[in-house]
């Protein structure tokens, strides 16, 4: 049924069907928190693997000069060392992912056609999102201060700033999303009529 209505919609406009919409700001907050913690965990785990493999190679140096000797330190540095260096880019990926989600919310809201009566409901959901973002920001600050992942979260500078200022960011995204949603950038047809 839903697919048929999308196929029959020949105006090329999106209509709000209940998924996403104003509730996407809640998904955004939780995803931003989880993505930073997950990426920091990946960097920390790869750092542990790199140091363990390097130390195993150093322990193998007692076999240097023997017939079956393999330079495991060099192999470890060329494999796990390179992976550890490249996985550092997840710090930048985290902030780009967060900002892309924020932009996606605003673009999606600009494309949604919604009745102006829902403006007050959107405002209430925006206020609720700002209130809900305060405990998320506080728990991230606690997590940051705890030194989890051997202090790896401290290296996520841009993401840290965003998550520590999450209530302000959610307010800005909600207001801009609301403006784009209710400004009716996508018209329903008949714009050429001057009546």
pLDDT value of position 140 = 94
pLDDT value of position 5 = 54
Burial profile 87-124: b = 16 or more Cβ within 10 angstroms, e = fewer? beebbeebbebbeebbeebbebbbbbebeeeeeeebee
Distance CA 23, CA 129 (A): 9
pLDDT value of position 14 = 46
Whether 190 maps to a domain, the answer reads: no
Whether 161 maps to a domain, the answer reads: yes
Q: pLDDT tens-digit profile of 70-87?
A: 788 888 888 898 999 999
Number of independent structural domains in the chain: 1
Whether 7 maps to a domain, the answer reads: no
Q: pLDDT tens-digit profile of 111-127?
A: 877 777 788 888 899 99
Least confident of 19-28, 60-69, 72-81, 114-123: 19-28
Whether 149 maps to a domain, the answer reads: yes
Across the range 91-113, mean pLDDT stands at 90
pLDDT value of position 168 = 96
Whether 154 maps to a domain, the answer reads: yes
Domain range for 170 is 23-182
Which pLDDT band, with edges at 50, 70 and 90, does 144 fall under? Answer: very high
Average pLDDT, the chain: 82
Whether 178 maps to a domain, the answer reads: yes
Higher per-residue pLDDT: 48 or 109: 48
Which pLDDT band, with edges at 50, 70 and 90, does 17 fall under? Answer: very low
């Amino acid at each position: 049924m839903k697919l048929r209505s999308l196929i029959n919609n020949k105006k090329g406009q999106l209509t709000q069907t209940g998924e996403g919409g104003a509730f996407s700001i809640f998904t955004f907050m939780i995803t931003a928190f989880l993505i930073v913690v997950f990426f920091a965990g990946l960097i920390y785990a790869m750092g542990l693997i790199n140091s363990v493999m390097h130390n195993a190679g150093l322990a193998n140096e007692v076999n240097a000069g023997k017939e079956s000797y393999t330079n495991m330190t060099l192999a470890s540095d060329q494999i796990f060392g390179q992976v550890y260096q490249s996985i550092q880019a997840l710090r930048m990926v985290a902030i780009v992912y967060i900002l892309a989600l924020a932009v996606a919310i605003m673009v999606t809201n600009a494309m949604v056609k919604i009745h102006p009566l829902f403006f007050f409901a959107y405002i209430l959901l925006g206020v609720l999102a700002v209130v809900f973002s305060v405990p998320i920001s506080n728990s991230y600050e606690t997590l940051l201060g705890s030194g989890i992942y051997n202090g790896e979260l401290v290296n996520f500078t841009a993401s840290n700033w965003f998550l520590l200022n999450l209530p302000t960011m959610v307010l800005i995204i909600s207001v801009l999303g609301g403006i784009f949603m209710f400004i009716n950038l996508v018209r329903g047809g008949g714009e050429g009529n001057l009546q």
